């Protein structure tokens, strides 16, 4: 009897867990498509309100569509869809089918928005057009990419060539756009090409900010003769987590060193001057290596711009940990 009650309880618990997971998956799906829709709206505003009325180009497939639109009497929405087809075919063999489906929906939606949206000319200032056009397009692309959709096929081309030939994606996109802007200078004007390059740079920077986040984390490897004190300062005064590795024989400015600790920690870049100051107060001769972090998940991190605020390690841990 007790066994059956236990089994019933476990079954109910499993069913509740499945319902929770299913509900969360539906919420995530709705959230993803809502954000993709927002990205499409922002990108279409950048194109229709700023770039298209002034004849400015963005990079990638969108830029090719705008350039062709200046030379042939074909609707830019049709050009955008037609030019994206080869890249979507490449995507079918390169990325997941889910990304391909989202990208097809996104590109068609962007074309529809461009076709039916109407905006008055906001400004005739070419510098403002380049900056704010790039800003809106960059936000739109960044939000879409973060949620698994691609609005421009040049990124897909970069992924494909990187997978086949090992060429860096950034270099592929750079070469792609250098060719595009060179043709723009020859067909339209050097001035139009220069403003288009500025638009592309703004777009690329904003896209990176949206995808990677406004917060930047940096990793540090610290070797100090006073490692215990450094560990305690990082935890108590900075609230950061850390990992300590045991170092074997090594050679440095003080000759051979044996049995030393290597402190590894990840902090917000905002705190970099503070951690250097803390370490200098304890050991001015400490060996410190800094490196950029591309992606990070979990752990104890101080986030300043994230609404969740991340985590900060409790100072009492340093006092209760016997290894310090």
Tell me the pLDDT of the chain (324 aa) as tens digits: 444 555 555 556 556 556 656 677 788 888 889 999 999 999 999 998 998 888 888 888 989 998 998 888 889 999 999 999 998 998 888 777 888 898 899 999 999 999 888 877 788 899 999 999 999 999 998 898 888 888 887 778 877 787 777 776 667 788 888 899 999 999 988 998 999 999 988 988 888 788 776 567 889 999 988 889 999 999 888 888 888 988 876 666 666 666 788 999 988 777 888 898 899 999 998 889 998 877 776 665 555 444 444 555 555 544 544 343
CA distance 97 to 237: 47
- Give the pLDDT confidence score for residue 127 in this predicted structure: 93
pTM for the complete prediction? 0.69
Q: What are phi and psi of 124, to 5 degrees?
A: -105, -5
CB atoms within 10 A of CB 66: 22
Q: List CB contacts of 112: < 8 A, sequence separation 6 or more.
A: 77
CATH number 3.40.430.10 given to 217-320:
no
If one counts every other C-beta atom within 10 angstroms of the C-beta of residue 59, the result is 25
Q: What is the torsion angle, in degrees rounded to the nearest 10, for the CA atoms of residue 184, residue 210, residue 146 and residue 107?
A: -30
d(CA 36, CA 142): 9
- Residue 260's DSSP bridge partners are 247
DSSP E strands in the chain: the ranges are: 217-223, 242-247, 250-252, 255-257, 260-268, 287-292
In the chain, CATH 3.30.70.120 covers 217-320
Give the pLDDT confidence score for residue 145 in this predicted structure.
83
Alpha-carbon distances of 138 from 46, 48, 79, 111, 203, rounded to whole Å: 9, 14, 20, 17, 4
The full 3-state SS of the chain, as one line of letters, equals CHHHHHHHHHHHHHHHHHHHHHHHHHHHHHHHHHHHHHHHHHHHHHHHHHHHHHCCCCCHHHHHHHHHHHHCCCCHHHHHHHHHHHHHHHHHCCCCHHHHHHHHHHHHHHHHHHHHCCCCCCCCCHHHHHHHHHHHHHHHHHHHHHCCCCCCCHHHHHHHHHHHHCCCHHHHHHHHHHHHHHHHHHHCCHHHHHHHHHHHHHHHHHHHHHHHCCCCEEEEEEECCCHHHHHHHHHHHHCCCEEEEEECCEEECCEEECCEEEEEEEEEHHHHHHHHHHHHHHCCCCEEEEEECCCCCCCCCECCCCCCCECCCCCHHHHHCCCC
Q: How far is Cα 36 from Cα 98, in angstroms, rounded to an integer? A: 14
Write down the pLDDT at residue 158: 76
How many C-beta atoms surround the C-beta of residue 299 within 10 A?
15
> What is residue 269's predicted lDDT score, i.e. its pLDDT?
74
Q: What is the pLDDT of residue 323?
A: 40
């Amino acid at each position: 009897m007790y066994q059956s009650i236990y089994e019933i309880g476990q079954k109910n618990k499993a069913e509740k867990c499945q319902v929770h997971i299913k509900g969360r998956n539906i919420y995530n799906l709705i959230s993803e498509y809502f954000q993709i829709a927002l990205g499409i709206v922002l990108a279409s505003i950048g194109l229709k309100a700023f770039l298209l009325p002034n004849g400015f180009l963005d990079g990638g497939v969108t830029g090719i569509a705008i350039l062709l639109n200046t030379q042939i009497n074909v609707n830019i929405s049709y050009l955008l869809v037609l030019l994206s087809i080869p890249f979507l075919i490449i995507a079918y063999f390169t990325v997941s089918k889910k990304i391909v489906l989202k990208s097809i929906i996104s590109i068609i939606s962007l074309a529809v928005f461009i076709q039916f949206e109407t905006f008055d000319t906001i400004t005739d200032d070419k510098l403002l057009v380049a900056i704010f056009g790039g800003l809106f397009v960059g936000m739109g692309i960044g939000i879409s990419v973060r949620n698994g959709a691609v609005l421009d096929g040049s990124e897909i081309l970069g992924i494909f060539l990187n997978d086949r030939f090992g060429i860096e994606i950034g270099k592929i996109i750079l070469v792609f756009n250098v060719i595009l802007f060179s043709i723009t200078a020859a067909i339209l004007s050097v001035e139009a090409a220069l403003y288009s390059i500025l638009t592309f740079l703004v777009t690329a920077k904003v896209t990176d900010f949206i995808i990677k986040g406004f917060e930047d984390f940096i990793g540090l490897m610290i070797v100090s003769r006073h490692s215990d004190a450094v560990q305690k300062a990082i935890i108590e005064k900075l609230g950061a987590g850390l990992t300590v590795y045991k170092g074997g024989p090594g050679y440095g400015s003080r000759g051979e060193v044996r049995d030393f600790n290597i402190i590894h920690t990840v902090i917000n870049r905002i705190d970099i001057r503070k951690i250097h100051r803390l370490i200098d107060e304890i050991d001015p001769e400490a060996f410190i290596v800094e490196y950029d972090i591309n992606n990070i998940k979990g752990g104890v991190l101080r986030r300043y711009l994230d609404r969740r605020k991340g985590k900060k390690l409790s100072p009492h841990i340093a006092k209760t940990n016997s290894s310090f």
